[in-house]
Each structure stands twice: as structure tokens, then as C-alpha cells.
Amino acid sequence: MPDTVAPTNRRTLRRELRRRRRQLDARQQQLAARRLCHGLRQLPELFRARRVALYLPNDGEIDPTPLLPWLARRGANAYLPVLRPLASNSLWFVHYHADTPMVTNRFGISEPDRRYAAHRAHRQPAWTLNAILLPLVGFDDEGQRIGMGGGFYDRTLAFTRRPGPRPSLIGVAHECQRVERLPAEPWDVPLDAIVSDRQVLRP
């Protein structure tokens, strides 16, 4: 059973959940990453996907990158989130391959270089992606989620509420980030699945 989190504000909850995942040691992280990727490979959404966005782990996040060789074998392209310039607090998804020039962003996360990302040919509009793996700070059994608090993914993916083509949204996290119940916010974008090192959850 997950620890019960007393009713508290989102900031306190975030701090606690981020602390939990940072406490995992290298061996636990590696095992969790392997289990996560095993779960992800079973998802029909990913099996079919040609264009998949993932992320490079930071702050104890579960590592989705063991999926990269699997995607490459299937001829699928990988994309990474890049902070959009001009403080729009939203994301671009930029092609990630062996030669993508990388820099460290203002949060200390490695991401494709701005100049590379500035070329439209190197980006993929979110609606044309088949699947996006979202890093979660917390989740519950109902499929509610909480992220880093920037609203980057919520803003970027707000269009998925309207009819039209859209990527499958797959939240990923360590099982230790599961809590009893999370408050839903009106802007929270619904996820199609949440995958941890222990389970595949379909809200």
C-alpha cells in the first residue's frame, strides 16, 4: 500500500515525492528502468508508434532511455522536450539521435541545443507525435497526476482536449510516487496510461 499523504498543498506534496525518488540508489534506479521499459514495450500505443517523445531523467526520475534501442530497431524516431524560448512555459519536441547537439537548460536538464531546435525540420508538432512519455512527480489509482509544477506539459498538451489527431499520453513514474488520492485541477490533461516499475494503470 502506498503511504497516505495527508491533505496538504501541492508544493509540500511535490517536495516529499521528489525526495522519495531521489533516495533510490543507482541499483534501484537501474532495476526500475528495466522494469518500466518492459511494461512500456507491452503497450499497443508504443508498439505501433513511429514518433515517440520521452525525456532524459533528472532529480531521481525513472529512466525511460532503455527504450531508445528498442525504438531504433523498430525504425521509430525519438523526441525530447525543449523549453520553448520567450517564457511561454511550454515545450517543443525535438528530434533526438546520436548527433543531436545537447546543452544543459536552466533546470539543469540536458536538452537539444536551441539553435538546433530552432530549425522547424528538427521539431515535431505535438499533435503529430504518436506517443508522449510524461515524467510524473506523483500519481494515484484514478490516473490523476502531479508534475514539476511548471505546467509545461499541461500547456503544451491542452489541445488534446479538443477533437482531432493527438498522441497517446503515457505518464511514467516510480511506484514510490503513487499516493492515495491526488486533487484534480481543471487544467490537468487526462492520461491514457500510467506505467511504473510495478504496474500498468489504465485510468
Ligand X SMILES: Nc1nc2c(c(=O)[nH]1)N(C=O)[C@@H](CNc1ccc(C(=O)N[C@@H](CCC(=O)O)C(=O)O)cc1)CN2
Residues making contact with ligand X (CB under 6 A): 55-58, 61, 81, 91, 107, 109, 135, 147-150, 152-153
DSSP string, 47-89: HS-SEEE-----TT----TTHHHHHHHTT-EEEEEEEPSTT--
Burial of 202 (0-12, 13-18, 19+ CB in 10 A): exposed
81 binds, among ligand X, ligand ATP, none (CB under 5 to 8 A by kind): ligand X
* Binding of ligand ATP by 146 (CB under 6 A): yes
Q: Is the Cβ–Cβ distance between 37 and 64 less than 8 Å?
A: yes
Q: What span, in angstroms and rounded, lies between the C-alpha atoms of 73 and 87?
A: 36
Footprint (CB under 6 A) of ligand ATP, residues 148-167: 148-155, 158
Shortest distance, position 78 Cβ to ligand X, whole Å: 14
Q: What span, in angstroms and rounded, lies between the C-alpha atoms of 121 and 128?
A: 13
Residue 2 vs residues 138, 141, 188, 190: alpha-carbon distances, Å: 11, 10, 22, 22
Residue with Cβ nearer ligand ATP (30 or 89): 89
- Which member of 38, 69, 185, 200 binds ligand ATP (CB under 6 A)? 185
Shortest distance, position 185 Cβ to ligand ATP, whole Å: 5
* Binding of ligand ATP by 59 (CB under 6 A): no
Shortest distance, position 150 Cβ to ligand X, whole Å: 4
Residue with Cβ nearer ligand X (36 or 163): 36
Binding residues for substrate: 56, 61
